[in-house]
Structure 1
Amino acid sequence: MATHGAQPPPLLQNPGSTEDYCMGRMLVHSPGIWAVNTATNHFRFFAYSLPRMLGQLAVMFLLAELLHLLLKRFRLPRFVSELLTGIILGPTGVGRLEFTRKVLVMDQADFYMGLLSKIGFLFFIFLSGVKMDLGLISRSGVKAWTIGVIAVAIPHFIFICFSEVGITEYPQIHRYRWSAIRAILRIQSQFSFPVIALLVVDLKVMNSELGRLSLATALVSDLLGTIVMAIYVNVKMGSMTAMTVVTVQAFVSGVVCVALIVFTARPLSAMIIKRTPEGRPVDKAYIILMAFLVFFASLLSDNAGMSFQYGPFILGLAVHGGPPLGSTLVDKLDTIVSGLFGPLMVTFAGMKVNLCEIYDMEFIGYVWLAMLICYFIKYLSVITPAIACKVPITDAISLAFILCTQGVVQMSFYLNNTVNQTFDEETFSMLVMAILIIASVTHFAVASMYDYSRTYSGYQKRDIQHNSANSELRLLTVAHRLEDVLAARKLFEVSCPYRESPLSIYSMFLVELVGRATPLLVDHQLGQRNASSNSRSQKMMDILRSFELQYLGYVYVQFFTSVSLPKFMHYDICSLGFDKQTSMIILPFHKKWNQQGKLIQDSNSIRTMNNNVLETAPCSVGILIDRHKIKNPQRMSSPVQHVAVIFLGGADDREALSYARRMSRSPSVYLTLVRFVPLDPDLYNDQWDAVLDAEVLKDMRIQAKHQDNILYREERVNEGAETALVVRDMQEVFDLILVGRRHTDDMPQLFGLSEWNEIAELGPIGDMLAVDTTLPVSVVVVQQQDTKTK
């Protein structure tokens, strides 16, 4: 037999040679069906490693997607679908079939899929570290620190005591099984920030109070738990060898490894950021360099006595998160890592589950008992301090479920222990099933208990109509761009702030969250500075500050910045409106025009955000369609603002009229109320709304008799087509038009208009004003606070 130092065998070995060579054929690439050699394997594509791996990947992702389409209706996360895919394809499911086992399912010698899943997991852990905001630790309040420290201290204390003393009191457990029980307790005691961050996104509570508390507590618990466990493992290594020097050596190796990664990556990332022009993505060469450092950090930590994934995780923490480096890394790598390689670890682990061959039922019972006790202790360690910190009971229960959830990180720990033969196949199968059950129950329980819209339950009459005429008017304006702030200021100028009825403006600038896992709400009044702030946001603040100085003593402005994912921005908007008790939220329209009236922006994300705000807002909402940019040579500039209200009837029209009446207090505003009356009044049979409308219109007619800048008009129309003609004529005259969003379906004034409605959230009249004109007339589509569903 050849030794390790022997040279490779020659192509033609001489007969009678004294050395024997052991040659193994690596069947990687299939020669195809047209190959000259007609060996049997040439026609079996899946006998070769590469076609088999590609076939496995195709089947995995197809089955996982089909399962997710089915299970998401039952509020189960994608993680469950990916894990079930592995179990179905493994020896528990179709892997038991002879045909499937030969053609598709991997055997013990096929390690390519395992290597690919580990590489994907390295980048998943690296990106998780990049998304972590270590500054959140210093910003976390006493509540998050209290819950996080207690949640780490109690489980780890019980685990260490039982591992060192308690386990020896159970002779039923063979001493060769002690290592497996200790590993289970050690892994169960840990908290995983990446898993929890993914969960709060899936549950759509990322920007809620529960989501923020979960992320802050998870970050504290994860880092503290990792430090405690690293110290325990090093001390344990020294005690097992009866040599203190081993503990010292392991500790020094770990510290040197961490220091080398941190003090290399930190200045390197700072240099990359310095060389990147403002507003530009990081150069591709630096992204390749960071990918190389992921492998190097993994190699370094693996040889320093730590687990192979700790190096990339520390590297991710050391990299400067957020734009430009962190955001570019996430933008370039997150799609393929989270969508392809990250789930591969879960499915690969599921394919190793074998529920059909379980023999040692007694030990399996101890495994389940250990997991249940650990979960129960962790749950109590979270919910008890949460209730003591005066967290609402429903939120405390949900918080405990979220922090105790398990996912791909715990799966990787179990898989590593299986490779190291700490767990046998039976134990690993039970642990994977426990992860599946915990993840399913957690997602379903929190989704059932926690409803963000319930935050505004009982929150009544927060609108302009029911606001006292001489009281403070509180408005929340939302801005994505500089043009949004300019449009909002023009609206505020005609809102007539004065001493007896001041105007309080809460301005929220929206910034997309990139390169981070934790959202951020910056209160600029508290001296907070947004890490991603730039000259653009400063200009936006300067515009409203100048407006505040112009009406000094009558206008008060406060500034906030929300850094969040676009699909969760409406949570911050509604939450701020609720906290500040605003009467109306002013939203920018999702379309923008240039000076020639040409459409230059049509954002689906802004439109989705507006729809979400309309559904969950704690007060009235106004969508501002700004067209002041458009030039009209036929209209002369004038200091007088001509404002109109289109009134058909209903709560939203009454709210729009109430806002316009406030504007009419300004002598520079000329208000025209145009009421559309059907030719046959009996066709409109909502008597209660008719009574309320009559009361509001009566007050308006009385006010018009005493004010020269108010005009009341009635237009009798037979159907929607006649209404459309009058509305189009109004666009030629007025600078600002206010209209209600919702009207009843049986209104004769709107017959036929709904069929042409392109933007449903604006209503038929608002849609007409938003789409069918290129004139410089701005529109505010008003929705009064909806208290029926609260």
Structure 2
Amino acid sequence: MASFTRTVTDTVTRTVSAAATASNSNVVVAPQGGILEGSNPSHCDSKNPIIIFIIQAGIILIFCRILHYPLSKLRQPRVIAEVIGGVLLGPSVMGRVPGFTAAIFPTAAMPNLSLVANLGLVLFLFLVGLEVDLRYLASNWKVALSVGAAGMALPFGLGCAIAWGLYNQFRNESGTVHIGFGVYMLFIGIAMAITAFPVLCRILTELKLLSTPVGIVVLSAGVGNDVVGWILLALCVALVNTGTGLTALWVLLTCLGYILFLVFAVRPGFMWVLRKTGSLQDGPSQSVVALTLLIALTSSFFTGIIGVHPIFGAFLAGLICPHEGGFAIKVTEKIEDLVSTLFLPLYFALSGLSTNLGLLNDGITWAYVIGVIAVAFLAKFTGGAFAARLNGLVWRESFTIGTLMSCKGLVELIVLNIGLQARILSTRTFTVFVVMALVTTFATTPLTAALYPPWYQKKLEAWKRGEIDWDTGSPLTSDDGSSTKDVVAAEKLESVKVQRLLVYLRLDNMPTLLAFVSLLGGRPQALMPRMHPQQEAAMSSDESGSSPDERLKRPIDVHGVRLLQLTERDSSVMKVSEVEEYSIHDPVINTFRTFGQLHNLAVSGEITVVPESSYADVLVTKASDMLSDLMLLPWSETGSMSEAQMISTDVAKNKLYSASYSNFIATTLENASCNAAIFVNNGFGGRVKQKPMLLTRSVSGLSLRHHQREHAASTPVADRSHHVFFPFFGGADDRAALRLVLQMAENQDVTATLVHYYSTAASFEHVEASTSQSAQSASTSAKRATTGLTPTASSERDAAFFSSLRHSLPADLAMRVLFETKQSTNLLADAMEQAKAEVGQSPRNAGDLIVLGRNVNANVVAADAGTSSTSSEARGCLGPAAEAVVASGIRASVLVVQARGKGLE
């Protein structure tokens, strides 16, 4: 015990002595208080580089975002802002500020920034490979081969020509290595010949050209151009990185063997894993995403160690990923935000940091700048245009294709950076080509918009269909003196009923839309019970004399359009290029198609991916192209443009307060060329019983019984009837709405009350408008329809119209429709009082409906002006009468009709 005590004492004594000795020495621990102890955060610390990296990344991202805002108004891709941002932060502008480069971009910190940027570049090339759909190349191989080959051969040849001057003028500058002219020529030719496929997809999408002949040709040729360009670049890098031609040959053979290994070994195994895990049907899991990224990084590693750039391996990994089931799009959605918002701006900013506009300081250099731009644009333009012309396109289409193929964009900058890193290019030559890439990319969108505007596209389509004369633009007549469009118009005039219906499909409105559209289809033909085919054949002779069933009436043509928002993400652009496959497999479209077919409707549907600002234009254009009689627009259940599946009670109550959706509806109605109807849902199709919230979590007999009731199934709707109330105030909108109500009433489950409200003769004198200015501006069509009529003449015309329909109904329809005429001094208030008595009286039915015209006379709402309880946007969009009815809380849905086609007479 004594020895143990002595040992402990000696240990403590030695420890205290060592601590005292250390406190008297000159060793000082590095300050850990950061800026609180006066340290400089921008100081590059090799052991802790994250601080300086965050400063660099933050400045680059903020700078690029600020620059992109004004450039986006000019329809310029984001890469323009990123490169210009790098140029401004580099030696050209901010580098001239004393101490800026040394403090923010010190030489010691650049390797870390370059590492992150190059990792982003590898992932971006993987995304480019995912975006390239080789099915386009296979389905349009002839035009892709001709346009792509001509679009590469001519600029490659002229690039080789100008490479002779560049090689002799700038080959001895600092920062370059001595290489033979053949390798230098190959690199310059590639830089001239390559096309930026990702930027091209974005431009085609924004200009709505993907479905046009120009878009199909450019997309097909761009795929082949992209693949061939990267292969040639891999060849060039291999030649630069190898010392002898024999080594370069081995590198190329190894690369070829690796490509075959990926296609015939890796891809089948990868597909087996995807099918086994259900990733093609259900989307990739986290493990599958990890496996996909591991394949991309491993492929980059292999191509890097054999002497080819790592980005080529990532590109190949993206190419072997399948597009079936939207797998490539779903993988892109997982990683694109991090790559495009953080990694890629760093890479292109590094390009700008390596660009020094101050080196363009003499006449010969500027001569080469102009020469390089001219060769890059004119060679691409000429090759693509002539090849397109040989494929049967008109000259203006061909010129548009040539302009689009001249786009360089970010792919060109990647090629140039590889040349700078391989020391093929000097900083001066690199700057010359960066200026060329910026100019050609910047000019692509405005030139394309000028060469191929929407009006020219419509004229060209009509001319190709043989509908118009090209020189005069006048319709061509056939032998019987009528054009194709005239025949369709004549068919439409045979009946004022809705025969062609365009429906804006939204996920949050699908139950309502299905219930309403089914009313227009009517009941299908009554069918006999099904019989076994053999028994049916045996009994057919006995029933040969039976009377035939009534013939089915012609079904209504219904076309559903679902709009998906085109965002800045690459996955959104990929959806556009694969929109046909999306339309085939989309569950909303298929649900609508199947439901319509079962309800005597001829149904078709499509998906369109466009910017949110173009939603109204797309619907108006579709309705015009299809010669639709009616365009049905549901009011959003979420109160916004989004189709959120989870809708809270508060959101549902305040759905009329959305300014964005009101503006969308108002823009659509203002530009519509056919009748339009807005459907505001309030329990149409049957109300869902609200279940009370659980008050306790303790288990008791009461709570157990409540749990059983909570999961009880909803019973079928026993009463499938709908009651429609329509107050007829007069005007073009009300006349169109009246005809629509009578068409709905042909359905045996619909009853309708139609009341003509009219005022005294004195009230038809001039009444000062007291409604909102937005509501008045939206009533242009109604005013046009009654031009030249006095108020009294207009009211007499409406009364005659109401009376003529009242006395011309078939007997079976007259049983379900009640016509009334009432005189009132407060038209809207009396109509709302009767509406409360008419609708909502059968709470177990399938929902009631109030139909209103959008634009009514000022005297109808004069007494109620200024009493709106919703937003002014909703009042101007729905009209004052409809807005008052919706805000009153009447237990019925509201259909607001605007006349722009049938119903004006």
Residue deviations 1:84-103 (CA, integer Å, cap 9, x gap) = 22121111112111131222
Greater Cα offset, 63-72 or 374-383: 63-72
Query: In structure 2, the residue corresponding to 1:591 is in which secondary structure?
Result: coil
Secondary structure of the residue that 1:547 maps to in structure 2?
coil
Q: Which is further off, 92-101 or 744-753?
A: 744-753
Query: Are residues 717 and 135 of structure 1, via their aligned partners in 2, closer, same or farther at CA, if it must alter by over 3 Å?
Result: farther
Query: Of 328, 331, 334, which residue of structure 2 is paired with 1:329?
Result: 331
Q: Where do 1:185-224 residues align within 5 Å?
A: 185-203=189-207, 211=215, 214-224=218-228
Q: Is 2:585 the counterpart of 1:585? A: no
Show CA shifts across 1:762-781 (max 9, x none). Answer: 33444455565473x34333
Question: Normalized per residue, which structure has more helix?
Answer: 2
CA distance in 1, matches of 2:333, 2:245: 49
- Give yes or no for the alignment of 1:152 onto 2:135: no
Matching of residue 657 in structure 1 with residue 742 in structure 2: no
1:709-748 deviations in whole A, cap 9, x for unaligned?
3514346354866665555555436833333345688974
Structure 1 contact 494–666 (Cα < 8 Å) conserved: yes
Alignment of 1:472-511 (within 5 A): 473-481=499-507, 483=511, 486-493=514-521, 502-508=555-561
Indicate how the Cα distance of structure 1 residues 558 and 215 shifts in structure 2: closer, same or farther if over 3 A, else same: farther
Is 1:418 matched up with 2:403?
Answer: no
Superposed CA deviations along residues 593-645 of structure 1, whole A, max 9, x for unmatched, are: 99x99688779998887667556655433333443344399xx9656643333
Paired residues of 1:649 and 1:689 also in contact (CA < 8 A): no
Question: In the superposition, relative to structure 1, how do residues 377 and 698 fare at CA in structure 2: closer, same or farther (>3 Å)?
Answer: farther
Q: State the shift of 1:214 in Å.
A: 4.2
Aligned to 1:272: 274
Hey, what's the Cα distance between the residues in 2 that align with 1:744 and 1:383? 57
2:15 aligns to what?
none
- 2:897 is aligned, of 779, 782, 785, to 782
Q: What's the secondary structure of 1:306's corresponding residue?
A: coil
Contact 2:389-2:398 within 8 A present in 1 as well? yes
Question: What is the one-letter code of the residue matched to 1:67?
Answer: L
After TM superposition, give the deviation of residue 415 of structure 1 in Å: 1.0
Trace 1:133-172 onto structure 2 (pairs within 5 A): 133-140=133-140, 145-146=142-143, 148-159=144-155, 161=157
Task: Give the counterpart of 2:358 among 350, 353, 356.
Answer: 356
Distance in 2, matches of 1:182 and 1:294, equals 27
Cα 1:338/1:613, change in 2 over 3 Å: farther
Corresponding position of 1:620: 675
Q: Can you list the C-alpha shifts for 1:337-375, whole angstroms capped at 9, x where unaligned?
A: 122222222222112221123356425523531331231
Alpha-carbon separation, structure 2, partners of 1:438 and 1:445? 10
The 3 A distance-change label for structure 1 pair 175 and 431 is closer
Query: Equivalences for 1:272-671 in 2 at 5 Å?
Result: 272-276=274-278, 281-321=283-323, 325-359=327-361, 361-387=363-389, 391=393, 396-447=398-449, 452=454, 467-469=493-495, 473-481=499-507, 483=511, 486-493=514-521, 502-508=555-561, 515=571, 517-519=573-575, 533=585, 538-548=590-600, 555=601, 557-562=602-607, 564=609, 567=612, 576-591=622-637, 614=669, 619-626=674-681, 627-631=683-687, 641-664=722-745, 669-671=750-752
Q: Matched residues in 1 for 2:365 and 2:114: separation?
A: 28
Counterpart CA distance in 2 for 1:654 and 1:476 is 20
Question: How far is the alpha carbon of 1:675 from its aligned partner?
Answer: 4.5
Kindly provide the amino acid, as one letter, of the partner of residue 735 in structure 1: D
Structure 1 residues 127 and 570: alpha-carbon distance in aligned structure 2, compared to 1, 3 A threshold: farther
Q: Map Cα deviations across residues 674-700 of structure 1 (whole Å, 9 max, x no partner).
A: 445566222358875444775455223
Of 865, 875, 887, the residue aligned with 1:751 is 865
1:75 touches 1:447 (CA, 8 Å); kept in 2?
no
The answer on whether the counterparts of 1:741 and 1:783 sit within 8 Å (CA) in structure 2 is: yes
Question: TM-score w.r.t. structure 1 length?
Answer: 0.78
Quote how far apart the aligned CAs of 1:311 are: 1.5
Distance 1:176 1:59 in 2: 35
What is the correspondence of 1:88-167 to structure 2 with a 5 Å cutoff? 88-107=88-107, 110-140=110-140, 145-146=142-143, 148-159=144-155, 161=157
For residue 659 of structure 1, what is the amino acid of its counterpart?
A: L
Distance in structure 2 (CA, Å) of the matches to 1:209 and 1:647: 48
How far apart are residue 283 of structure 1 and its match? 2.5
Task: Structure 2: state its 5+ residue gaps.
Answer: 1-29, 174-180, 460-472, 476-484, 526-550, 640-644, 690-716, 769-781, 842-846
1:18 matched to which residue of 2? none
Q: Does 1:683 find its partner at 2:774?
A: no
Distance in structure 1 (CA, Å) of the matches to 2:329 and 2:166: 52
Judge conservation of contact 1:463–1:620 (CA < 8 Å) in 2.
Answer: no
1:376, CA displacement in angstroms? 0.7
Amino acid at match of 2:819: L
Query: 1:84–1:725: structure 2 CA closer, same or farther, 3 Å change rule?
Result: farther
The structural deviation recorded for 1:220 is: 4.1
Judge which range, 359-368 or 685-694, deviates more: 685-694
Matched position secondary structure for 1:656: helix
1:59 positional shift: 1.6
1:738 corresponds in structure 2 to: 851
Contact 2:498–2:740 (CA<8 Å) still a contact in 1? no
Question: Which residue number in structure 2 is paired with residue 46 of structure 1?
Answer: 43
Cα distance, 1:103–1:676 mapped onto 2, change above 3 Å: farther
Choose the corresponding residue for 1:716, options 824, 828, 834.
824
The secondary structure found in structure 2 opposite 1:91 is: coil
RMSD: 4.7
Report the number of matched residues: 733
3-state SS of the aligned residue for 2:607? strand
Q: Distance in 1 between matches of 2:729 and 2:490?
A: 18
Specify the code of the residue in structure 1 equivalent to 2:628: T
Q: Give 1:70 shift.
A: 3.1
Offset, 1:535 = 6.9
| Cα-to-partner distance string for 1:201-220 (whole Å, 9 max, x where unaligned) | 45465566755554344334
Structure 1 partner of 2:60:
60
The code of the aligned residue for 1:624 comes to: F
**Contact 1:684/1:746 (<8 A) preserved:** yes
Q: Deviations over 1:403-442 (max 9, x none)?
A: 3222111111111111111111111112222222222222
Tell me the secondary structure at the aligned position of residue 897 of structure 2: strand
TM-score norm. by structure 2 comes to: 0.69
Cα 1:617/1:385, change in 2 over 3 Å: farther
For 2:426 and 2:57, the matched residues in 1 are separated by 26
Residue 15 of structure 1 aligns with which residue? none
Shift of 1:199: 2.7
How far does the alpha carbon of each residue in 1:273-329 deviate from its partner, in whole angstroms, 9 at most, with x for none? 532479755322322332233221211222344332121122122222365643442
1:522–1:257 CA distance, 2 compared to 1 (3 A)? closer
